[in-house]
């Protein structure tokens, strides 16, 4: 038996820092335009071709494959030889609809069959590539309907590191929308009058911070003046106004219920309030600085009403009956496990054998020890991972695996598999264990393994799911699955639960997975806001819309949500499809709750009624306040950008542009600017002992940004004090920006810069001042003075960082290549 010991000090990610030499950043997407009239362009290195466009073979010359989204053999009507549009015609149409440069050659084609609501559609997928020295440097992908010849998809990619990004973008979202609308009119004119622009899709609430901008736009199908959001056209436009991707999802075989709504939007909203179901839960896995504490939240799942009569309606069959009132046992059957055992591999293996009956012939072959710090609780977790080989008649017949907490002795994962478990003759019945017997087994396992949790674990009834199976399906069930939710004083613990699968042939446990956090929950449920107040909050979070929705059917019968998603993902059905031999139902007119577009993930604090940021736990608002004191200000755009990214806070709705900026604010502004607006993640966020400065501990609002700046060599540790509330001078600002550009070493070279400021004698770091002035990031005053000791205002800092972003884009260089 092999023993492997892998000790880890932390499970957290290491901070991903940016290079200080930003001028050498990898090139952003290039613009080698195939043809201006169709807004064709080429994307950059990070934009890989979609999977469906990957060449089927690397052999020279074009390759053709025939595929189907339903699997199995193709029928004659799905054969490319029978297609109305031949491959050659499809290639010709592609070159008419999309301008393909001469140095792009056809590399592969595929002929695909797509399932519709009632029928099928065949499509030619064409992959064109540009090669330089036997290396692919670009591609254009076109999808052509094999019956109508219309364009169904387009995407482009080009690896061109010589292109410099443009910042700010030449095209804003409004202009991109106009470009997309014109493109649809050119390549798909028949849909133009049947579309409505989806203003919520792909919306960005904050201005871009780099030149690599992509606007994702969607146009929904319009039926009877109502949006049908299962059908749409998606277009992606870059910051220079070029079409990067185009795709259409449209099913003309869908039929619609043409009845007018029986209730108004106002009446539907009132009924939704009446029918709303609230859920109290403990949120334990949000990304706040650890150690974290469970946060009691309210949730309100979205649902639909029939627009005809206002009754609750769902496109899916409800297979699972939520169990929120009946635990495995009304009271605990024992104590919860405690630590301090420090089991070795042999003791851990014995614990598994005591918990589960390992098959005859099981031999422990491998063990590994793992230790890490739980990123939410801050406590150390130690575990053994064990593997068994199962032999029968001297031959390999299966395997087993388990994980055991070495401190508590609790088995947290167990699984085993036998190679010939499910072998059967044609027509032979596999299933011998009933659902009821398997459920009894699962409950016995919970009581035996988790006696201290039985009063907090609730089995979710899945019996209805198995009741929908045909007799043949029932006879071939291999495993029954059981899931247990955890509730503490009635409140759901979001990340906790137990999963068990019981073999339908032998009645043995085949899979067992435990996820139970060891947070210290309150002894009783804390006081919470009223349900009426919570519903008020969620009606601000959601909006009510009238739309068409297709029922999820198979063989003419409703199917569960989970099964529906699996079948759609596998290509077995399309939304609203009736299935083989089934009947097609019309898309229903419904009122439904949909989330309003937000720029952050949020949760509702059940105790205070406040919305909080899921990443930080900080109080937030659904509608972001706008600074009331910057309208008409010379730095209105720049200040607005910093407010949007929360780099500057508002006080009574004001940003106070002429206030002196603090050191903490400047560092936050710089790090966000360099990181495309993303909040940094730092490994040491759970411990003040790891802080670089004694006055910026892990609880400080600027901690993550200051630590990120230290990692990127933007600031030095000095005497160990940072003084986050201290003021910033122009000379300090210049040094920060030069460091961010990666030119600080260059700036220190004496005699390299011709410093002509009248107050040059007062400037300690003359090179840095010369660089920021030369790049027009910061400027001298009318008298020719740089004013190195003058303190910087919020407006001046915002403007400087905006110009820094412009300069960074202009200074970007392409790497040298052979």
Q: HEC string of 168-227?
A: CCCCCHHHHHHHHHHHHHHHCHHHHHHEEECCCCCCCCCCCCCCCCEEEEEEEEEECCEE
Judged against a pLDDT cut of 70, whether residue 413 lies above it is answered with yes
**Which of residues 526 and 317 earns the better pLDDT score?**
526
Mean pLDDT of 698-712: 91
What band does 699 get if pLDDT is binned at 50, 70 and 90? Answer: confident
Does residue 728 lie in a domain region?
yes
In three-state secondary structure terms, 807 is helix
- According to DSSP, the residues that pair with 151 across neighbouring strands are 144
C-alpha dihedral over 321, 324, 329, 333, to 10 degrees? 130
Does residue 457 sit in the same domain as residue 567? no
Does residue 733 lie in a domain region?
yes
The whole-number pLDDT of residue 315 equals: 84
The whole-number pLDDT of residue 712 equals: 92
Does residue 128 sit in the same domain as residue 231? yes
Q: CB count, 10 Å around CB of 556? A: 13
Tell which of 204, 223, 249 closes a domain: 249
- Per-residue pLDDT of 80-101, as tens digits, reads 888 999 999 999 999 999 989 9
Judged against a pLDDT cut of 70, whether residue 470 lies above it is answered with no
**Which of residues 13 and 145 earns the better pLDDT score?**
145
Does residue 182 lie in a domain region?
yes
**Which of residues 268 and 615 earns the better pLDDT score?**
268
Tell which of 249, 273, 302 closes a domain: 249
User: What is the percent of the chain where pLDDT is above 70?
Assistant: 80
| Most confident listed range (60-74, 218-232, 333-347) | 218-232
Does residue 233 sit in the same domain as residue 376? no
The whole-number pLDDT of residue 515 equals: 95
Does residue 663 sit in the same domain as residue 563? no
3-state secondary structure 518-573: CCCCCCCCCCCCCHHHHHHHHHHHEEEEEEEECCCEECCEECEHHHHHHHHHCCCC
Judged against a pLDDT cut of 80, whether residue 184 lies above it is answered with yes
**Which of residues 377 and 167 earns the better pLDDT score?**
167
The whole-number pLDDT of residue 54 equals: 31
Task: Tell me which residue range forms the domain holding 643.
Answer: 619-811
Query: Is the peptide bond prior to 804 cis by the omega test (within 30 degrees of 0)?
Result: no
Looking at 312-321, 354-363, 542-551, 570-579, which range is the least confident one?
570-579
Distance between CA atoms of 346 and 238, rounded to whole angstroms? 59
Does residue 509 sit in the same domain as residue 560? no
Does residue 86 sit in the same domain as residue 218? yes
Contacts of residue 340, defined as CB under 8 A and 6 or more positions apart, other chains included, come to 407
Does residue 525 lie in a domain region?
no
- Per-residue pLDDT of 580-638, as tens digits, reads 434 468 999 999 999 999 988 999 999 999 999 888 888 999 988 889 999 999 999 99
Does residue 242 sit in the same domain as residue 355? no
Does residue 20 lie in a domain region?
no
Does residue 56 sit in the same domain as residue 100? yes
User: What is the percent of the chain where pLDDT is above 90?
Assistant: 60
Judged against a pLDDT cut of 70, whether residue 570 lies above it is answered with no
Looking at 44-53, 64-73, 407-416, 637-646, which range is the least confident one?
44-53
Judged against a pLDDT cut of 90, whether residue 322 lies above it is answered with no
Does residue 543 lie in a domain region?
no
The whole-number pLDDT of residue 800 equals: 96
Does residue 571 sit in the same domain as residue 639? no
Number of domains in the chain: 4
Looking at 14-23, 397-406, 579-588, 759-768, which range is the least confident one?
14-23
Task: Give the chain's mean pLDDT.
Answer: 83
| pTM score, whole prediction | 0.78
Tell which of 232, 249, 266 closes a domain: 249
Does residue 791 lie in a domain region?
yes
Does residue 523 lie in a domain region?
no
Distance between CA atoms of 594 and 411, rounded to whole angstroms? 41
Does residue 664 sit in the same domain as residue 764? yes
Element containing residue 517 per DSSP (H, E): none
Does residue 165 sit in the same domain as residue 36? yes
Mean pLDDT of 701-712: 92
Does residue 153 sit in the same domain as residue 75? yes
């Amino acid at each position: 038996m092999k023993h492997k010991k892998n000790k880890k000090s932390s499970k957290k990610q290491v901070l991903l820092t940016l290079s200080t030499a930003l001028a050498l950043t990898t090139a952003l997407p290039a613009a080698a335009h195939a043809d201006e009239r169709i807004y064709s362009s080429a994307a950059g290195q990070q934009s890989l071709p979609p999977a469906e466009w990957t060449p089927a073979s690397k052999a020279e010359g074009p390759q053709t494959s025939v595929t189907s989204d339903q699997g199995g053999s193709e029928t004659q009507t799905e054969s490319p030889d029978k297609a109305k549009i031949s491959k050659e015609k499809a290639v010709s149409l592609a070159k008419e609809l999309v301008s393909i440069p001469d140095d792009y050659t056809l590399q592969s084609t595929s002929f695909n069959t797509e399932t519709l609501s009632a029928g099928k559609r065949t499509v030619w997928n064409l992959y064109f590539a540009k090669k330089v020295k036997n290396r692919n440097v670009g591609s254009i992908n076109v999808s052509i309907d094999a019956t109508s010849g219309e364009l169904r998809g387009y995407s482009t990619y080009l690896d061109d590191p010589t292109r410099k990004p443009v910042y700010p973008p030449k095209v804003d979202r409004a202009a991109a929308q106009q470009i997309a609308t014109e493109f649809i009119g050119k390549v798909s004119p028949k849909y133009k009058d049947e579309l409505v622009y989806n203003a919520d899709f792909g919306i960005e609430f904050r201005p871009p911070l780099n030149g690599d901008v992509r606007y994702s736009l969607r146009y929904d199908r319009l039926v009877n003046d109502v949006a049908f959001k299962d059908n749409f056209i998606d277009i992606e436009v870059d910051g220079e106004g070029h079409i990067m991707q185009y795709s259409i999802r449209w099913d003309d075989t869908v039929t619609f219920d043409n009845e007018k709504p029986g209730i108004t939007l106002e009446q539907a909203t009132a009924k939704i309030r009446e029918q709303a179901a609230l859920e109290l839960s403990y949120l334990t896995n949000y990304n706040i600085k650890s150690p974290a504490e469970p946060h009691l939240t309210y949730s309100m799942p979205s649902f639909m009403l029939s627009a005809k009569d206002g009754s609750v309606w769902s496109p899916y069959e409800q297979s699972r009956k939520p169990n929120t009132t009946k635990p495995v046992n009304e009271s605990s059957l024992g104590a919860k496990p405690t630590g301090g055992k420090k089991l070795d591999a042999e003791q851990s293996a014995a614990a598994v054998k005591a918990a589960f009956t390992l098959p005859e012939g099981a031999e422990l072959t491998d063990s590994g020890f793992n230790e890490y710090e739980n990123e939410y609780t801050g406590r150390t977790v130690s575990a053994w991972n064990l593997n068994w080989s199962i032999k029968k008649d001297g031959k390999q017949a299966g395997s087993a695996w388990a994980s055991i907490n070495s401190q508590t002795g609790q088995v947290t994962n167990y699984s085993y598999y036998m190679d010939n478990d499910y072998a059967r003759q044609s027509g032979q019945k596999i299933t011998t264990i009933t659902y009821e017997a398997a459920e009894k087994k699962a409950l016995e396992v919970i009581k035996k393994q988790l006696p201290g949790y039985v009063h907090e674990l609730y089995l979710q009834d899945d019996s209805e799911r198995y009741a929908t199976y045909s007799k043949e399906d029932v006879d071939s069930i291999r495993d029954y699955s059981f899931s247990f939710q955890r509730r503490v004083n009635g409140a759901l613990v979001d990340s906790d639960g137990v999963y068990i699968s019981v073999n339908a042939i032998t009645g043995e446990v085949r899979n067992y997975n435990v996820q139970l956090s060891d947070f210290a929950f309150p002894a009783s449920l804390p006081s919470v806001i009223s349900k009426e107040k919570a519903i008020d909050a969620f009606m601000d979070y959601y909006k009510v819309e009238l739309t068409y929705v297709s029922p999820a059917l198979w063989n003419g019968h409703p199917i569960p949500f989970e099964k529906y998603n699996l079948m759609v993902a596998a290509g077995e059905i399309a939304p609203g499809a009736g299935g083989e031999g089934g009947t097609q139902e019309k898309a229903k007119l419904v009122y439904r709750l949909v989330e309003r577009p937000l720029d952050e993930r949020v949760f509702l604090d059940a105790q205070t009624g406040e919305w909080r940021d899921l990443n930080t736990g900080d109080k937030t608002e659904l509608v972001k306040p706008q600074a009331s004191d910057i309208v008409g200000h010379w730095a209105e755009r720049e200040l607005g950008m910093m407010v949007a990214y929360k780099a500057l806070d508002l006080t009574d709705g004001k940003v106070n542009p002429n206030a002196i900026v603090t050191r903490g604010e400047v560092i936050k502004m710089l790090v966000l600017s360099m990181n495309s607006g993303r909040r940094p993640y730092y490994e040491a966020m759970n411990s003040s002992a790891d802080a670089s400065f004694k006055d910026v501990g892990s609880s400080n609002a600027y901690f993550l940004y200051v630590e990120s700046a230290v990692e990127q060599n933007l600031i030095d540790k000095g005497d160990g004090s940072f003084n986050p509330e201290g003021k910033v001078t122009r000379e300090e600002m210049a040094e920060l920006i030069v460091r961010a550009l990666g030119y600080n070493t260059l700036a220190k070279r004496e005699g390299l810069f011709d410093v002509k400021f009248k107050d040059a004698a007062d400037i300690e770091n003359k090179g840095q001042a010369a660089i920021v002035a030369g790049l027009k990031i910061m400027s001298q005053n009318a008298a020719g003075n740089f004013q190195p000791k003058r303190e910087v205002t919020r407006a001046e800092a915002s403007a400087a960082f905006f110009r820094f972003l412009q300069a960074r884009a202009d200074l970007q260089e392409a790497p040298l290549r052979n």
